[in-house]
Amino acid sequence: MVEQLPAPVGAGIYNVYTGAQAGSAVPTAAQLGLEPPRFCAECGRRMVVQVRPDGWWAQCSRHGHVDSKDLETQR
């Protein structure tokens, strides 16, 4: 089962950690809690990422802003 994640982390087109075309591997919210994404899953652009002590946020210039707190509310 694929969880419902915002497009910049859940689209599954690009690997959010490597920026390579992914095809399948969509990280779970739990994985994303441990390691912030670096690339937009929908367009493969490098995202602006800010890591905080309690989480992170990441921003794609086209697909918007994702905050780890938003993912936690979906669990």
Member of 60, 66, 68, 71 binding Zn ion (CB under 5 A): 60
Residue, CB closest to Zn ion: 40
Asked whether position 43 contacts Zn ion by CB under 5 A, the answer is yes
Minimum distance from CB of 1 to Zn ion (Å)? 24
DSSP class of residue 17 equals T
From the CB of 9, what's the least distance to Zn ion, in Å? 10
Greatest alpha-carbon span in the chain: 31
d(CA 19, CA 1): 22
Q: Is 20 left (phi over 0), alpha (psi -120 to 50) or beta?
A: beta
Residues at the contact surface with Zn ion, assessed by CB under 5 A: 40, 42-43, 60, 62-63
